[in-house]
Structure 1
Amino acid sequence: MYSNINLPRQWSRLSYIYRTLTTLEGQTLPQSTKSSDGISPPPRIPRGPTDILQALAATVGPDPTAAHYKYHDDPYLIPLSNFRKRSYALSAEAGRKAAAWIRDEHAELFNTREWDPPGKMKTPYFNADPHIDAFAPKPLYNDESKVTEEDLKYTINNALLEDSLKIFQLLGGTSGVNEELRIAFLQLLCFYNEKEPDSMEWLEERWFSANIRERQAATWKLGGLADKIFESLEPKTSEAYCCIIQGMAKYYQAERAYVLTQEAKDNGIKLSTSVYNSLLGCIGFLKEGTALRTETLKSLLVEMEEQGISPNNETLTSCLRSISAWGGGKMLQQLALQIVAEFKKLGIEPGLSAYYYLLCLFCKERGPRVDILSGILNDLEKRESLEPKEPTDTNFFITAMGVCSDHLQDINLAERLHALLMKDDNYKLVGDAYKESIYYRHFVTVACRHAPFERTTQLLDMLVPNVYVPEPTVMEEIIKTLEVGGAGDRLAQVWSQLVVFGIAKRAKLVERLLSAMCSCYQYQENEVKEKMRAAAADVLRYSQLAEDKEETKDLRSPTQKLSATTLSNIIELCSDTQDKSDPNWDTVSEALQKLRRSEAVGVPNKPQVLADVAQKAATVGKAGIAAVAVTYLAECGFEEAISASTQVLGVMLNRPQEEVKQLLQERQGLDSLHPSALAIADAYHLAKTGAPAQDLDTSTSSESDSESSSEDE
């Protein structure tokens, strides 16, 4: 088996390895700057595996218009709506969930190598190299499992609450576990309140999860296993008191937590800073009234000083969280500023969470305008980096941008805040998808209302749609801004964006867009006008497709019909042509037919538009369209129907309006007119008398017949 080894070849390989090692050793940089030959190279700088990639990326900079790395870099596959982004990311995570399910259901496939030789015993070593515990199958425990305290340590360290409860029962409960392990298990129970925590493995689910506000109510499980374990500990140590008090305070069992605090103080047991931080955060559940709460807050701070307990950043955040939850007013605002000043004297600077609660306290929705944000930004801009320390740090940027948009209405502060967010690695503080969307909603809104038009368009080009997909309310603000700026080309693009974003079925938003297009249409160039007419025609086609789909499928929510004002705007835009063969006239005809068949909501707010369109149609030779427009005005009872009918008939008959009026009043020779002209004449009599001309003739003849018969008698 080993007779075919080529020794010279092996020796050549060994010599090559030796030369390589010698070369690498010669290239090793010295660790000190001293050298015998006078050359002093700099000391070696330790580098990480991705330092070169980060240096290269820093030379290019981020591309704000690029899609997120989680999506394929393909224009046909990049999702451009909120629904598609969510579906795309969650479907990719569903594949990882399927893999995890196979791993857990068939754990035996991942413990041994099935491709070992037949004569070799299968050894229980792992396939993966190196072995990663997070990807390994999780052990399962039942009533027949043989467990040890090491298994309980494993489940506690990995926050497997249900498995920890099972193992704890199998080990005999409080009597079968040593005191150190009982305290560790008690800490797990107090932190999660005896409920299995949400999995931290599925990033996309947590990113796209609905932002549910934390329920601030006493949810601590009284008489549960945590209370039993605490009672079984004798003597009760400081560690036991600290974890049970923090657990009760976290789940707002404030009275019981305060009683245990006094009990530990009476027994001479020293508590930690975290215990007092948790008590400071739930004062509102302990006392009623601002005066009592303020007194309790100050007494807890004094008690910390007496016991020699040093406060930290979390202490400041807890104080401000309680104060901001008590309401508003100058007294609480002065108290908060006083506490911040005292902590600064101790060398404790406010973090993002502390500033978040200050904004909540000073910048109320209906309160007076207070510019506290400028000072906060001045402080944060001086810091080298913003490191997250508490979960509520992600609330600062979204709240601050809301203050810029609604409270202060200041675009300069908004741009400073956004520059701070985009600095270095601060973007991780934006929060989840819900908070990110609200942040950009406020940013785009304040830019549309208070920024110059050029700056607003630059911002929209940078953010929409890859970074942010505007909601309908924000799209309305964008349409208003483009209308004021007279950007007809961009207004025509907005319609395609509404389709891509999945909000083209919102009738009010479409009506607002078409109204904006009509208001600035006459100031555009011919090329832009053509785009706007094409967009208006596409609106009608899209609406027709949606209605046809609704008829064929039983949809849960019916499609909103276009309003009569929307159809009137479509008619106004598409009728701006002198070419009789232009296909836009077909769009005008279809929109008018929808109006006559009462397939639209309401009536047009500008009936004069239909009168002008009727005259245009008659001028270019579209007599049928002119007749339908005038007839609709008459049927709706608009005053413009009388003048429109005479003007249109004058164009069709090539006669002065006075002669046309006389012809219509005498009602002679109307039968010889063209059917379209006859329809306009009927519309004239309908608008003037409330009845068509044919009905008038019938009623007149019946009256004359009755008179003649009476005379004969």
Structure 2
Amino acid sequence: MYSSVIVPRQWTRFTCLCRSLTSVEGQKLPQNSKSSDGISPPPRKPRGPTDLLQALAATVGTDPTAAHYKYHDDPYLIPLSNFRKRSYALSAEAGRKAAAWIRDEHSNLFTTREWDPPTKNKTPYFNADPRIEAFAPKPIYNDASKVTEQDLKYTIQNALIDDSITIFQLLGGTSGVSEELKLQLLQLLCFYNEKEPESMEWLEERWFAANTRDRQAATWRLGGLADQIFESMDPKTPEAYCAMIQGMAKYYQAERAHMLTMEVKEKGIPLSTGVYNSLIGCVGFLREGTTLRVEALRSLLAEMHEQGISPNDETLSACLRSLSAWGGGKILQQMALSIVAEFRRLDIQPGLAAYYYLLCLFCKERGPRFDILSTIINELEQKEHLEAKEPADTNFFITAMGVCSDHLQNITMAERLHALLMKGDNYKLVGDAYKESIYYRHYVTVACRHASFEKTLELLDTLVPNVYVPEPSVMEEIIKTLEVGGAGDRLAQAWSQLVVFGHSKRARLVERLLDAMVNTYPGQEEEVKSKMRAAAADMLSFGQMTPEEKEMKDIRSPVQKLSATAVCNIIEMCSDTQDKADPLWKSVEVALQRLRKEEAAGVPARPQALADVAKKAAAVGLPGIAATAVTYLAECGFEEAMAASVHVLGTMLNRPEQEVEELLSQGQSALVSSLHPAAMAVAEAYSLAKTGGPIIQESERTSSSSDSDSDSSSDDE
């Protein structure tokens, strides 16, 4: 009954299958270069899964001003200070660590079905397809675990040190494990010194860690499990000897490594190239003095030649690393050059790590100037791309840029080095975030000191702030460059950058910026001057707390005070206005009160600037500000106080300076009855500057001079 329906359906499916096979066969490219119809298509090129994306990215190019891909591409979310970048990166990584903790602590949620009935066993399953071993929960081993040698092999292959030691003890120790697995475990323990390796997942935590330098001290674990396994092996294989010697030499247990090497030589056991590389790296711990160390290094190289052991790239790096660690001098430098020449005869070219050690050996901070970097860059520019072969390769670019900045002081060399870094995929060799910051610190510094002003501005616009946030020392170099170039607009913008970068509380940097603004202020246009005045007023008010806030906030460290010179600079710029109602005059008054209350450190370096401000204030009709300025000058004992007092009082009373001097010579009672309170304060400042004492006592004043700015003085007073 249903045969007439089923057969046509099966026939239709068969027809579709034949058509699809025909179409697929027609899409295949012939492997031969010729065909029967005369058409010769090119051979098929294998393509990767990301080749198309890389081709599209190459057409667009990279945006040098874009933020790092780990930050959100949003102007309101991109961090613009080193502290915020560090906090952002570490907080994002903390979220990933929390997810990993949940995965490891509650692994049963990822390996069983929770919705199975209670009477039924939980069904094992994998919650990811395809299964990614790195994201899967790690097995947990304890004293009650039933383990086999396969479990030990799994932990060794995945470098799980603690789990490997636990499984090794559960299997019975040295007597319950095969010789092959004991050798593999010994090699693992020697490589990591029986310590869990740092996880490769938490890059940001390693990048921002404080211990950026390796500690060169004997940290080999004496009497540990590695020594026990090695002593239990009978007979001891050459691989076991090599693992022990390399482990001891790697963790600077040089004497025991040397003794074990002598034992191996007596037994006639062959050693590998890696063993000699490790011995060369720690040969300096066995000898004292440059001459003895060089002789020991030569003896090791001669021994390799006698035994027919071929050196490699790591041998060259180990030799140069030892030479650079022993200090400097012509003997070590000539030895390094001879070693590099000998290895080139063996067709072994130095890598970035070898060049890094050469720079450390030749380009000392206080040593003579050697231009070895130009030769190195000439050789590297001839290569299409640079490859990373060892971790020390990432030290080359930051060290070379430091040589360009401090040792050679050559901007041309720095630009060539930066072009080499930006070539192809070489940027991955810049290292972590800390090394990248050091690299750009040197680059911006040498550009500010030795590049043209236009190139420096172009570089700053490209790098700051998304790629690089300048440190306070670099920011000071930038301010010096802008001051020399007379860029008042850029200096006003620099204050907002200090606020964004988190440097606004650094008094020294703010004072340096104020000095630069005052020096470049006279030659600027009016629009630029208004920006500079607004920036100066904001510097005065930024970071100041009200008395209530000071009581509520627990300030453990004292806040740095601006110097009196810096406050005087603010007063000088803010007073450059003829409008009496300008809000900047309020800033001038606040700054003067801060000077009188000794809230600024020291005394002004240019008291004549305050005298000029007093004259301006009196001219625009602000006698209270003028009186405060001349009073401060008199209290500090500046000689400019007398001349400023006479000029200001003459402006207030609209009388020539000669009549003012006659008025000041009158008696005390006449002055009290005839002068305005603000004018009386100026007269007292004159008397204080001339005789060292006021005309009247403070208690006899009827009102303060600060309240008289709204009153106008006339000739009848």
User: TM tier, shorter chain?
Assistant: over 0.9
Quick one: percent identity of the two aligned structures? Answer: 75
The corresponding residue for 1:177 is: 177
CA distance in 2, matches of 1:293, 1:483: 51
Provide Cα deviations, 1:173-204, integer angstroms capped at 9, x if missing partner: 11111111001000111111111222112122
- Is 1:330 the counterpart of 2:305? The answer is no
Alignment of structure 1 residues 247-286 onto 2, 5 Å? 247-286=247-286
So what's the TM-score if we normalise by structure 2? 0.94
- Is 1:686 the counterpart of 2:692? The answer is no
| Superposed displacement of residue 264, structure 1 | 1.4
The corresponding residue for 2:574 is: 574
| Superposed displacement of residue 117, structure 1 | 9.0
CA distance in 1, matches of 2:61, 2:633: 60
CA distance in 2, matches of 1:119, 1:380: 70
Structure 2 SS opposite 1:454 = helix
The corresponding residue for 1:394 is: 394
The corresponding residue for 1:49 is: 49
Is contact 2:353-2:395 (8 Å) kept?
A: yes
Alignment of structure 1 residues 147-296 onto 2, 5 Å? 147-296=147-296
Alignment of structure 1 residues 351-390 onto 2, 5 Å? 351-390=351-390
Bigger shift: 120-129 or 683-692? 120-129
2:85 aligned partner, one-letter code = K
The corresponding residue for 1:91 is: 91
CA distance in 1, matches of 2:211, 2:534: 40
The corresponding residue for 1:670 is: 671
| Superposed displacement of residue 549, structure 1 | 4.7
The corresponding residue for 1:644 is: 644
| Superposed displacement of residue 550, structure 1 | 4.4
CA distance in 2, matches of 1:508, 1:517: 14
CA distance in 1, matches of 2:554, 2:338: 63
CA distance in 1, matches of 2:132, 2:201: 14
Is contact 1:211-1:434 (8 Å) kept?
A: no
- Is 1:142 the counterpart of 2:147? The answer is no
CA distance in 1, matches of 2:14, 2:609: 93
Provide Cα deviations, 1:550-606, integer angstroms capped at 9, x if missing partner: 443103323212221111111011100011111111111111111111111111111
Structure 1 SS opposite 2:544 = helix
- Is 1:612 the counterpart of 2:612? The answer is yes
CA distance in 1, matches of 2:692, 2:9: 111
Provide Cα deviations, 1:284-335, integer angstroms capped at 9, x if missing partner: 1011111111111111111111111110111001001111111111111111
Q: Alignment length, in residue pairs?
A: 695
| Superposed displacement of residue 23, structure 1 | 2.5
Provide Cα deviations, 1:257-288, integer angstroms capped at 9, x if missing partner: 11211221221211110100000011110111
Structure 2 SS opposite 1:543 = coil
The corresponding residue for 1:404 is: 404
CA distance in 2, matches of 1:211, 1:60: 39
2:293 aligned partner, one-letter code = R
Is contact 1:565-1:606 (8 Å) kept?
A: yes
RMSD: 2.1
CA distance in 1, matches of 2:12, 2:677: 105
Bigger shift: 461-470 or 561-570? 561-570
Where in structure 2 are there 5+ consecutive unaligned residues? 701-717
Structure 1 SS opposite 2:665 = helix
CA distance in 1, matches of 2:614, 2:531: 23
Alignment of structure 1 residues 448-527 onto 2, 5 Å? 448-527=448-527
The corresponding residue for 1:26 is: 26
Evaluate the alpha carbon distance shift between residue 150 and residue 463 of structure 1 in structure 2; reply closer, same or farther with a 3 A threshold.
same
CA distance in 2, matches of 1:6, 1:204: 63
Where in structure 1 are there 5+ consecutive unaligned residues? 699-713
| Superposed displacement of residue 154, structure 1 | 0.8
Is contact 1:614-1:644 (8 Å) kept?
A: yes
1:311 aligned partner, one-letter code = P
Is contact 1:546-1:559 (8 Å) kept?
A: no
CA distance in 2, matches of 1:675, 1:111: 88
CA distance in 2, matches of 1:20, 1:541: 77
Structure 2 SS opposite 1:678 = helix
Is contact 2:574-2:588 (8 Å) kept?
A: yes
CA distance in 1, matches of 2:180, 2:400: 45
The corresponding residue for 1:709 is: none
CA distance in 2, matches of 1:498, 1:7: 82
Evaluate the alpha carbon distance shift between residue 121 and residue 34 of structure 1 in structure 2; reply closer, same or farther with a 3 A threshold.
farther
CA distance in 2, matches of 1:595, 1:448: 35
Evaluate the alpha carbon distance shift between residue 484 and residue 385 of structure 1 in structure 2; reply closer, same or farther with a 3 A threshold.
same
CA distance in 2, matches of 1:647, 1:510: 33
Evaluate the alpha carbon distance shift between residue 517 and residue 329 of structure 1 in structure 2; reply closer, same or farther with a 3 A threshold.
same
CA distance in 2, matches of 1:546, 1:261: 72
